[in-house]
């Protein structure tokens, strides 16, 4: 398998922005909606938009039991289950601790890909790169966030749910890479529809009352999550997996915290401490080291 091309890095960067913005939008949406309601809303919005696009482009209907089995598995492990787990966990643990726990995902993918994905074998360069990235995350979030790993009660349960969500994402990346090749918008649309149906069932069974007068900012946050962080992001996700592989895409959990720090510094005027700068350098070195080369231009055949 050839190394990632410049277009792959651009798509990965777009996905970093789309998913990196989801944490803040989720906090706003939770002011009026429960985690289950939030997940259900964003999935239906994303699915509706993508399926309209699929119909307008006259895409073929997925055929065969194997294709539908993979789509169903990705609906559960790639959206419905981790969306709920992480949203629930964010209610009781800090964003810094969430970032540390989510950084486990690339390491999960690194080792699973070695056994299940031809062409994505484990190498010392990749191991060192991924460990550098994880170390950078620990420095970036600070020892205070790491100290909270020894929680009890609800805090401990919140940590376990976020960790379980990260593992779901890792397993889903392997499944997505092994799935039958379909256009990215087709795969994304049907996966989101399946996820939305699952989330709706769980929401109805929970019996949670829907807010009578939700806040306007919460409604806008759910809409933005559905269109951008769910609909568009899912299309980009499947395109990157097909083009560059699961191991490459898993680096996103190291790059999202980098985006968060830079966004806060550039647009919110937040001060970036020397510790954060060191962490960013370590993370970026780890990302480049794991790929074994700098981005190269695609050779024409």
Higher local confidence (pLDDT), 105 or 261: 105
Higher local confidence (pLDDT), 150 or 221: 221
**Paired tokens of 295:** 């981005």
- The pLDDT assigned to 223 comes to 96
Q: Per mean pLDDT, which range of 117-121, 168-172, 201-205, 239-243 is the poorest?
A: 117-121
| Count helices and strands in the chain by DSSP H and E runs | 15, 0
- The pLDDT assigned to 296 comes to 40
pLDDT confidence tier of residue 71, bands split at 50, 70 and 90: very high
Domains of the chain by residue range: 6-205+217-291
How confident is the model over 200-226, as pLDDT tens digits? 998 898 888 888 889 999 999 999 999
Task: Using the predicted structure, report yes or no on whether residue 294 has a pLDDT greater than 50.
Answer: no
Task: Using the predicted structure, report yes or no on whether residue 271 has a pLDDT greater than 80.
Answer: no
In terms of average pLDDT, the best of 121-125, 140-144, 262-266 is: 121-125
How confident is the model over 179-189, as pLDDT tens digits? 998 999 999 99
Non-local (6+) Cβ contacts of 246 within 8 A are 109, 113, 117, 120, 173, 174, 176, 177
Higher local confidence (pLDDT), 280 or 150: 280
- The pLDDT assigned to 299 comes to 36
**Paired tokens of 198:** 């699952």
DSSP state letters, 9-53? HHHHHHHHHHHHTHHHHHHHHTTTS-HHHHHHHHHHHHHHHHHHH
- The pLDDT assigned to 96 comes to 67
Task: Using the predicted structure, report yes or no on whether residue 100 has a pLDDT greater than 80.
Answer: no
**Helix 35-56 to helix 184-206 angle, to the nearest 10 degrees?**
150
């Amino acid at each position: 398998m050839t190394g990632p091309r410049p277009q792959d890095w651009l798509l990965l960067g777009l996905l970093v922005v789309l998913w990196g913005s989801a944490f803040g939008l989720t906090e706003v949406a939770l002011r009026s909606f429960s985690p289950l309601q939030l997940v259900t809303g964003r999935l239906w919005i994303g699915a509706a938009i993508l399926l309209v696009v699929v119909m307008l482009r006259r895409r073929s209907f997925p055929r065969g039991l194997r294709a539908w089995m993979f789509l169903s598995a990705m609906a559960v492990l790639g959206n419905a289950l981790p969306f709920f787990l992480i949203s629930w966990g964010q209610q009781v643990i800090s964003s810094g601790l969430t970032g540390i726990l989510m950084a486990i995902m690339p390491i999960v993918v690194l080792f699973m890909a070695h056994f299940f994905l031809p062409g994505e074998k484990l190498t010392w360069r990749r191991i060192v790169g991924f460990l550098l990235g994880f170390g950078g995350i620990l420095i970036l979030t600070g020892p205070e966030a790491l100290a909270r790993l020894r929680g009890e009660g609800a805090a401990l349960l919140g940590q376990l749910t976020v960790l379980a969500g990260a593992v779901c994402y890792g397993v889903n990346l392997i499944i997505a890479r092994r799935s039958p090749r379909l256009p990215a918008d087709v795969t994304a649309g049907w996966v989101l529809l399946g996820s939305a149906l699952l989330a709706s069932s769980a929401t109805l069974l929970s019996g949670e009352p829907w807010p009578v007068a939700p806040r306007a900012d919460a409604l806008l946050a759910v809409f933005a999550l559905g269109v951008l962080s769910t609909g568009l992001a899912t299309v980009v996700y499947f395109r990157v997996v097909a083009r560059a592989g699961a191991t490459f895409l898993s680096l996103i959990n190291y790059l999202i915290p980098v985006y968060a720090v830079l966004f806060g510094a550039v647009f919110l005027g937040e001060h970036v401490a020397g510790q954060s700068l060191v962490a960013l350098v370590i993370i970026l070195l780890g990302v480049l080291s794991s790929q074994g080369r700098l981005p190269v231009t695609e050779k024409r055949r």
